[in-house]
Amino acid sequence: MYGGAPLSREEVRFVADCFGAERMMCLYGLTEAGPNGTYLAPEEHAEKAGSVGRYAALHCEVAIVDENGQEVAPGEVGEIVLRGESVMKGYYKDEEKTNEAIKNGWLYTGDLARRDEDGYIWIVDRKKDVIISGGVNIYPKEVEDVLRTHPAIADVAVIGVPHPEWGETAKAFVVLSVPLEPLAEECKRFLSDKLAGYRPASEKARSFRGGMKASRFLIWNDSKKKRYPIIVARR
């Protein structure tokens, strides 16, 4: 049983081989929900590893909604909301924060996600981490997840940087396991075929006007939920 972040199919195989874990279950949730949320059952991992499942846990409801609280269509990105008996009543002595988090009985998680054609939920990123470049949403986690599958890349962090024309754009700091030259061109080529198919080529090209930079290491917190601004460039 694991949580904090979903595991890819490759990571599931790695953990299974290391620990002899034949059955693994992904749990998605947060403290404010009880904790409660969704789950990906062991038998679903073969086809849907990386997803957080399609069903809510006991006594809980889940939906993905837009800015107006309306449920989005499959394939569209929205915010995960949860409702159930275990959801908190509010933050202690913080009415403003409570009103931001709970609307019409639903807890707004701050996690952006989409459902696939089978109803499975795939987390895209934290809402606060989205980079808006000239009206185009760039999801750092989505890009990081793709780049980490490159055989020469050990780790990567994508952040927003100022851009004179679009307000901001994305920049990637890449930790290499083996040399990769030219870095920027190779990363963009790798992304072009694998980044979400719903994006037109013009939007994909815009994503990395901030460039790519090789780094010696990246600093994360224990759950890799927060990007620290301490990124050491390779000299």
With contact defined as beta carbons under 8 Å apart, do 205 and 184 qualify? Answer: no
Q: Which domains does the chain have, with CATH numbers?
A: 9-124 (2.30.38.10), 130-233 (3.30.300.30)
Measure CA 35 to chain center. Answer: 19
pLDDT block averages, 10 residues each, the chain of length 235: 81 85 90 91 92 92 96 96 94 95 96 96 90 83 88 89 84 89 87 63 53 71 50 43
pLDDT of residue 1: 87
**Which pLDDT tens digit goes with each residue over 190-213?**
888 777 544 544 454 455 666 777
9-25 in b/e form (b: 16+ CB < 10 A) is eeebeeeeeeeeeeebe
Residue tagged 């927003």 (tokens): 160
pLDDT of residue 51: 94
In order, the DSSP letters of 124-185 are: EEEGGG-EEETTEEE-HHHHHHHHTTSTTEEEEEEEEEEETTTEEEEEEEEEESS--SSHHH
For residue 213, what are the contacts with CB-CB under 8 A and spacing of at least 6? Answer: 171, 172, 173, 174, 183, 233, 234
pLDDT of residue 233: 44
pLDDT of residue 140: 87
pLDDT of residue 212: 75
